[in-house]
A and B are shown apart, each in its own frame.
Chain A
Amino acid sequence: MSRGRTSWRFNAWLSAALLLAILVVANGLAREHLAWRVDCSEDGLYTPSPVGKRLVEGLEDHLRVEAFFSGEVRLGPVQIAKRRLTDQLEELRDDARGRIELVFEDPNASSEARVSADRFGIRPVPLKAVQGTSLVSQDVYLGLVLRYRERERVIPFVLPQEFEFVFLSALSDLTRPTRGVVGFLVDDGTGKADDPFQQARRLLTDRFTVLEVLDLDRGEDVPPSLDVLVVARPRLAARSAAAVDRYLQGGGRALFLCDRTVVDLARGALTEIEDGCSALFEAWGLALSEKLAWDQLRSNTIRTALTTTDGTREVRVQFPYWVHVDQDGVQRELPATARVPGCDLFWSHAVLKANGPVAGLECTTLLESSPQTWLVSAVGAAIVDPNVLSSKGVALLAQGGERSYPLAVALRGPLPSAFGDGTSETQVVVVGDSDWVSDGKFFTTRNELLFQNLVDWLAQEDELLALRSRLPVDRKIDDFLEAERLSRGLATLVEIQGSSETSELLSSLEAEAADAARRRRWLHMAAGTGGGLAAAFVALFAFRALLTRP
């Protein structure tokens, strides 16, 4: 018995060791050779996009990818990121069926590789992490160089979550015979170096050649080679407008970012400008409103000083001139805006459909304000006094007549000429604001996404548009609190400064809405959990009955 037991112990330890070895080896082999997966999620963010597959499968020549990755990474999360990047690169190489050559260089280990990386502008990024009780820092290289037909693109640093877009954008740029060209026409093409659209230009330079369109009023023409003309805050003379019209009649596509009011908040100044586009818009059945959109329901906030009997303090108040277009106000049918979560417009004009539809021309509203919007005079648009804003809100509510207004439209089809009889098949987008793409804090991430999408849509860069649109769908849940506030009219009630009665009423209504919202949340949860438990008990009873049946 004793010998048998000793032999069993030996067998047990041997089995455990063998199983462990099998586990490690089989897992390792599976990791290397069984890279097959299905992405069941609707967003499909974890599988290579069809566009990516199409791009690598369509390579006509040899693509060499040099990955400048640090070999020995001392930081756990970076090691995992590096492994994921390597997996993503290998996945693309497998899809390319031999047309992608992958070369790994370690600039931390080889001075030659370090010099090469430096030559390409690939620099180490200092990263830190706490390991045990000490802070570990390391300069990490995660850069790529793509070479294709004697052209090259450098990606100085990349992380797995942005890899697909960055890599495929670079690849798409490399494989295109010629780069797209975007022209910028600002003001009247005077070419001022300090115009406020530098960031917008920089955003496009990765993928397009950006040109300045100048001197239209001196008889120059818009270069017909442009893929897209961006007309930003125009002040076009009649001759310039005619040149733009000729460009469009030649099949050119354009993005109009128009303003009739420029506000300088710092100085509290307001300048009226004449955009010079009225003749063009009129011919297309559009009119840019003179007045500004005042959105009482969806607006961004502004910091301002509030003076009360207790003194002056800084507060954040809703500023209805700054329209926040949420996902309900964004066109979901057009690829350019289908996956955009919204945007922020500042002192925006409405783009009205003036003369009825133009035959054959398809006019689609891209962005619209909330149903509680008025068009108001620009006078006072630079005033951020909370008392003035709230009394204006009250006056508008009393006046009535609120509705949603289109703030950007897309035109597709035969575009009539403003200065002739012809029409031309083309695409144009008109936005009633230019501040949203101006340098600084107005150019938010959402605005950047919308701007790039509009340019790509006009330039017919469908592949890049599809790639950028691989963003997760906005999955916001119903806001019970907002719904309860709306049902009590709280969204439209404005506190009158100094009136304690209205303050008390508003507070009690707010508390009531919060309670009702809380009740609804509990009800939902209780229904789900209770229903689930009831189902579980029924299933377990049925199970039990089945098992005890002879």
Chain B
Amino acid sequence: MSAVAAVFRRELGGALDSPVAWAGTVLFVVGLHVLFFFLGYPIGDQRLPGFWAGGLASLDALFVWLPPIYAILAPALTMGSWAREFREGTDELLLTQPVTIRALVAGKFAASFALLGAMSLVAILSAALVVASVGPLDWGTVWGGLAGALALAAIHVAVGLLASAVGQEELVAFLLGSIVLLILWAAGLFVRVLPPTWAEALWYASPSLHFLEGGARGLFDLRDVVHAALAVGAALVLNGVVLVGRRWR
């Protein structure tokens, strides 16, 4: 446990020392708020107007933006996690430390997740406070949405971390992670044009659909929890497998 905490401190400290986390937070919060308050969600079947245009005290138009934004942001935050170690050669040093690969993966995951989670918390709660100041906001939905957003962030960070280990270079890792996550997000858009068996399978595989059908509506569903836990677990285990492979190079 202390090994995980040490890796967590090292990773998060490093992230906070670089301007990326700070600039990312500003861009994420401001960007998400502009999209939510003014633009709305003009994609797919379930288009939503911006908050001021819609005139309803609801965070729907904010939650619906989280999956595509996470699909870009999470790989951007995690792309360097392994790729930078590989580029600078510190991975070999790291792998010789008395720390298990499991602890390394868990520590790096926890650090990136804490960062993205904190950013989400700030963006969602500040928007919720504005909405609540002008209308009767359903706070139950906000808490459900927040929990769902954290689960969604965890999946995206785990996949981004895996992409960082597989891609080995930061740009490749970012592109790989983003493409995979954007495909998973876009699955929801293609449900209408896919054969029903595929549509149903994608419906249950896509993290964004689990989030939009569950947490974003204020639902706490055990099936969504299982889905998120399995997806995060699988991505982290594969991450460990990839790292073991590094020893054979």
Contact = CB atoms under 8 A, between A and B. Distances in A.
A479 B55 CA distance: 8
A391 interface: no
B174 to A, nearest CB: 21
Interface string A41-78: 11100100000000000000000000000001111111
Interface string B119-161: 1001101110111011111111101100000000000000000
B222 A30 contact: yes
B58 A475 contact: yes
A43 B137 CA distance: 11
B19 to A, nearest CB: 12
A135 to B, nearest CB: 11
Nearest to B133: A524
A528 B13 contact: no
Contacts of A34: 222-223, 226
Interface string B182-205: 000000000111111011100111
Contacts of A11: 241, 244
Contacts of A129: 192-193
A130 interface: yes
Interface stretch (A21-29, A206-214, A291-299, A486-494): A21-29
A477 B136 CA distance: 7
Interface in B50-82: 51-52, 55-58
A535 B17 CA distance: 18
Contacts of B118: 536, 539-540, 543
Interface in A506-550: 521, 524-525, 527-529, 531-533, 535-537, 539-540, 543-544, 547-548
B204 A529 contact: no
B26 interface: yes
Contacts of A4: 248
B237 A477 contact: no
Nearest to B52: A521
Given A130-B192, A540-B25, A477 B200 contact: no
B33 A31 contact: no
Interface stretch (A12-20, A281-289, A353-361, A460-468): A12-20
Interface string B6-37: 00010011001100011001100110010001
A525 B33 CA distance: 8
B227 A30 contact: yes
A445 interface: no
Contacts of B143: 40
A476 interface: yes
B217 interface: yes
B231 interface: yes
Given A533-B25, A547-B12, A42 B138 contact: yes
A525 to B, nearest CB: 5
B9 A38 contact: no
A478 interface: yes
A5 interface: yes
Contacts of A40: 140-141, 143-144, 218-220
Interface residues of B, number: 73
A277 to B, nearest CB: 39
B99 interface: no
B22 A42 contact: no
Contacts of A74: 195-196
**What bracket does the count of chain A residues touching chain B fall in?**
35 or more
A166 B119 CA distance: 43
Nearest to A31: B223
A130 B51 CA distance: 30
B85 interface: no
A8 interface: yes
A536 B15 CA distance: 15
A547 B140 contact: no
A80 B190 CA distance: 13
A333 interface: no
B3 interface: no
B25 A477 contact: no
A34 to B, nearest CB: 5
A37 B126 contact: no
B91 interface: no
B214 to A, nearest CB: 8
Contacts of A16: 238, 241
B226 A30 contact: yes
Contacts of A80: 191, 199-200, 203
A5 B199 contact: no
Nearest to B137: A475
A524 to B, nearest CB: 5
Nearest to A46: B219
Contact of A26 (B21, B218, B230): B230
B220 A15 contact: no
B55 A41 contact: no
Contacts of B220: 37-40
Contacts of B205: 27
B245 interface: yes
Given A19-B238, A533-B25, A41 B196 contact: no
Given A19-B234, A36-B222, A528-B33, A132 B193 contact: yes
B237 A27 contact: no
A30 B22 CA distance: 39
B219 A535 contact: no
A225 interface: no
Contact of A76 (B33, B140, B193): B193
B221 interface: yes
B239 to A, nearest CB: 11
A540 B144 contact: no
Contact of A8 (B119, B198, B223, B248): B248
A379 interface: no
Contacts of A543: 12, 16, 118
28 contacts: A5-B245, A5-B249, A27-B204, A27-B205, A27-B223, A27-B226, A27-B230, A30-B226, A34-B222, A37-B214, A37-B220, A39-B140, A39-B220, A43-B138, A76-B193, A76-B198, A79-B196, A129-B193, A130-B192, A473-B136, A475-B57, A477-B131, A479-B55, A525-B33, A529-B30, A529-B33, A532-B122, A536-B29
Interface of B: 9, 12-13, 16-17, 21-22, 25-26, 29-30, 33, 37, 51-52, 55-58, 118-119, 122-123, 125-127, 129-131, 133-141, 143-144, 191-196, 198-200, 203-205, 214, 217-223, 226-227, 230-231, 234, 237-238, 241-242, 244-245, 248-249
Given A76-B196, A539-B122, 9 more contacts: A12-B238, A22-B234, A40-B143, A46-B219, A76-B200, A477-B51, A525-B130, A532-B33, A532-B126
Nearest 10 interchain pairs by C-beta: A532-B126, A41-B218, A76-B199, A528-B130, A477-B135, A79-B196, A40-B140, A37-B221, A30-B226, A536-B122
Interface of A: 1, 4-5, 8-9, 11-12, 15-16, 19-20, 22-23, 26-27, 30-31, 34-43, 46, 72-80, 83, 129-132, 473, 475-479, 521, 524-525, 527-529, 531-533, 535-537, 539-540, 543-544, 547-548
